[in-house]
Structure 1
Amino acid sequence: MAGPVLGLILAGGLGRRMGGVDKTLLPLGGQPLLARIAGRLRPQCPAGLMLSANGDPARFGDAFDGPILPDPVPGLPGPLAGILAGLEHGAARHGVTHVLSVPGDAPFLPDDLVTRLAASPGSGPIAVAASGGREHYTVALWPVALRDDLRAWLAAGERRVGGFIARHGSAVVEWPVEPVDPFLNLNAPEDFSRAEGIVQARSSS
């Protein structure tokens, strides 16, 4: 069972299908996508939230008020580097045993994400979310105790999130995809249009 969980939002790179801008700063339902995701996570992560992002942190402005962590391994960008930054930051926080990672373009994360992942029995220490029969490797609960092995994995040139999860084993927790897949990613303008419709429908119901 996890202790107080620290949340990690993976901002990732620039959205090429969105014109090369930070997707996390694009508006959805009248607020930046990043702020919407943080609002979903904050009640579930009593130890606080972090953002994995390279470049000038000032660009996030009021959209995020927690620590902004650059990749800790030079020349090796990607989600695993961001997860390592989160684990190492979490290890320095008293009482934090686990970090929850989520992508920075998933605005409909479930309210029971942490509780279900933390309670899942499994054959390994990592708990991974799934929906529609698909595992979402970047939506996972990671023990901070894996940080040294993850750093060595990255230093050896490994980049695959699924490969590192397979190395240690995992529990997989499935969520329904109806009425909305809670792990829907917004990758293109049409995804944002669909998400805007979902937000408006929810606000009027």
Structure 2
Amino acid sequence: MPVSALILAGGLATRMGGVDKGLVPFQSKPMIQHVIARLRPQVDEIIINANRELAYYNSLGYRVLQDEITDFAGPLAGMQLGLKHATHDLVLFAPCDSPLLPADLVQKLQAGLLQANADIAVATCGTNKHPVFCLCKKTLLPSLDSYLALGHKKVQAWQKNQHYIEVDFGVDNDAFENLNSPDDITKLESKLAQRGNESTDTL
């Protein structure tokens, strides 16, 4: 089945000093470019949810949608946009600040969703849940509209009230690490550089 993807880049990024996270460099390239590069082979459509730096996001060549709910309502506002405006009946959501997301993210989530005949498949790593990495059916839009209209914003609370399945990607997995601060970026870049050195040393 074809899949649309919406990249969540609409937050305030307070721990990043207010700088739009999608534009923050990771390994000398804006984080959202890493996310797009990893998603492009996996999906049939990419949409970006952004509320700032719109000129830059539009320059990437994908549809850019702003929250329809005011005051930065969080990830669910972006999910609402995806369920409303995506071309395809399955919509993947992923944040802009996880540049190492798995190359098999869509494959695994879709397999779990279809096998369980569920409406939402959420990525997990052992006991760690990653609710903004999820695959949803567009038919959930009325449920999400109602939830948001009541002023609720918690992603997991809404998800768990649906026909919901978790898909485990393994306990030790950096792929879902959110880079919320400059320190997070420095640590992950150092870790990857160390791994590269270790690989070279074994040659």
Q: Which band: TM-score by shorter chain?
A: 0.7 to 0.9
The TM-score, its normalising length taken from structure 1, stands at 0.87
Per-residue deviation, residues 47-75 of structure 1 (Å, max 9, x unmatched): x111111135114364x321111112345
Structure 2 CA distance for partners of 1:56 and 1:19, relative to 1, 3 Å: closer
How many pairs were matched up? Answer: 196
The TM-score, its normalising length taken from structure 2, stands at 0.88
CA contact (8 A) 1:123 1:171 kept: no
Unaligned runs of 5+ residues in structure 2 are: none
Query: What amino acid maps onto 2:111 in structure 1?
Result: A
Shift of 1:118: 0.4
SS of 1:13's equivalent in the other structure is coil
Corresponding residue to 1:88 among 76, 84, 90: 84
Q: Percent identity?
A: 38
Counterpart position of 1:103: 95
CA contact (8 A) 1:126 1:142 kept: yes
Measure the CA separation in 1 of the matches of 2:35 and 2:191.
15
Measure the CA separation in 1 of the matches of 2:58 and 2:164.
36
CA RMSD of aligned residues (A): 2.0
CA contact (8 A) 1:128 1:173 kept: yes
Query: What amino acid maps onto 2:83 in structure 1?
Result: L
Query: What amino acid maps onto 1:20 in structure 2?
Result: G
Per-residue deviation, residues 2-46 of structure 1 (Å, max 9, x unmatched): x21011110132322222101110111121100011101110012
1:77 matched to 2:70? The reply is no
1:67 matched to 2:63? The reply is yes
Measure the CA separation in 1 of the matches of 2:183 and 2:174.
16
Corresponding residue to 1:11 among 9, 12, 26: 9
Shift of 1:89: 0.8
SS of 1:35's equivalent in the other structure is helix
Unaligned runs of 5+ residues in structure 1 are: none
